[in-house]
A = this chain, B = another copy of it.
């Protein structure tokens, strides 16, 4: 009996790691004043309908009729639409509504390395603020996440939908094949200019293509790039507004490794202002976060609310962290195995005492002899062994063995937790 295709079990060695990553993410989100919101895995089909485009709607959403009344249901496809639905049902909640969510979503795609039909998404969003400070705070959250997991050579690419429109549409006068133009520009980092140029030449006059090149060639820190953009396109309204907002955003997030990337586009139909995307140098896995301002989306459900946020690609984060050796898989959370040499009562008393002192403890539950107990502790990768038998019971002591260093110490029962703490730190 297997799991459905593209859906998998997370055995302890995966689940422990995942829970640890999620806990660290949650701690960061809470530091910045975000609170958790959980929504059902199952939504009404009507809630998802028309939100993701025909491709997703027809081929990727797990929609089904319930067996009873024939209600049309669907498994959630992301965490943003359920958030929008929640806001529309709770329009009087105090603003800004700052929420994080980490949960499973469902997409009927062809499974491949790192891609599943059931996977976790992790979102942080601020609803109700149109201020650039709320975008800046999202960048601070991203920076804190990157710092927490020590991802090497990350940078947060920032751009602005209004800047793109101002420069390319008004500044360079591109008004046909816009989507194709943007899609090609967005590929710059992946495929290089030569390829982008050849594609653009097919749909744009050659002069326009070379002016695009001039724009995306603007180099420097965010403020330098903004200076140059303003000097060239500063008279265009969209550019003026976007540039002022971006200055405020970069000012408030200057401790984060940001870069103003004029060739970064993302899903244009969705975003209305600043957009963000985090990339890491190694391994080349594409973006690890993605987000931006989406002031129009919530209006689809009723009252419009300004909104900004980001997805943290937790599946990628975990895969990358494992690949880079940042995350280590452990087989068990257990710290100590109490090996019973022939006095079960004392062994269980020792286990109780250690648990009371914050240690995770296993005891024999199989009636195994001590050698097999030691072997069990090894199979679960448990670092410390507490040997106890009639001799130890008599004296109220425990023989502690650190399997990592093979150090052995006989200590009083009450001193075991301290001893283990000291040995763990060496």
Contact = CB atoms under 8 A, between A and B. Distances in A.
A4 B362 contact: no
27 contacts: A1-B44, A1-B47, A3-B40, A4-B40, A4-B71, A7-B42, A8-B40, A9-B39, A9-B86, A11-B37, A12-B99, A15-B36, A15-B37, A30-B333, A30-B334, A31-B355, A31-B359, A33-B334, A33-B362, A35-B333, A41-B104, A42-B62, A96-B366, A129-B365, A133-B344, A133-B363, A137-B365
Interface of A: 1-5, 7-12, 14-16, 18-19, 26, 30-33, 35-44, 46-47, 59, 62-68, 71, 73, 75, 85-86, 88-90, 93-96, 98-99, 104, 106, 108, 118, 126, 128-129, 131, 133-134, 137, 252, 255, 301, 331-334, 344, 348, 352, 355, 359-367, 376, 379-380
Q: Which 7 residue pairs across A and B have the least CB separation, nearest first?
A: A33-B362, A64-B64, A12-B35, A94-B379, A7-B40, A10-B38, A15-B36
A36 B334 CA distance: 11
A131 B365 contact: yes
A35 B16 contact: yes
A172 B327 CA distance: 61
Contact of A3 (B39, B63, B376): B39
A385 to B, nearest CB: 13
Given A4-B43, A31-B360, 9 more contacts: A1-B89, A3-B44, A9-B37, A9-B40, A31-B361, A64-B65, A94-B376, A129-B365, A131-B367
A94 to B, nearest CB: 4
Contact of A1 (B18, B64, B88): B88
B38 A360 contact: no
Given A40-B9, A366-B129, A108 B4 contact: no
B15 A38 contact: yes
Contacts of A26: 19
Nearest to A33: B362
A40 B46 CA distance: 24
A4 B42 contact: yes
Given A16-B35, A64-B67, A361-B32, A42 B133 contact: no
A41 to B, nearest CB: 6
Contact of A365 (B96, B104, B348, B361): B96
Contacts of A89: 1-2, 9
Q: Which of A18, A39, A95 has the most CB of B within 10 A?
A: A39
Contacts of A96: 365-366
A65 to B, nearest CB: 7
Nearest to A101: B15
A352 B137 CA distance: 11
Contact of A332 (B5, B33, B252): B33
A137 B379 CA distance: 21
A68 B30 CA distance: 40
Contacts of A85: 1, 3
Contacts of A14: 38
A98 B331 CA distance: 12
Nearest to A47: B1
Contacts of A126: 365
Contact of A37 (B10, B39, B75, B106): B10
Contact of A134 (B1, B133, B365, B380): B365
Nearest to A128: B366
A41 B94 CA distance: 33
Contacts of A88: 1
Contacts of A63: 67
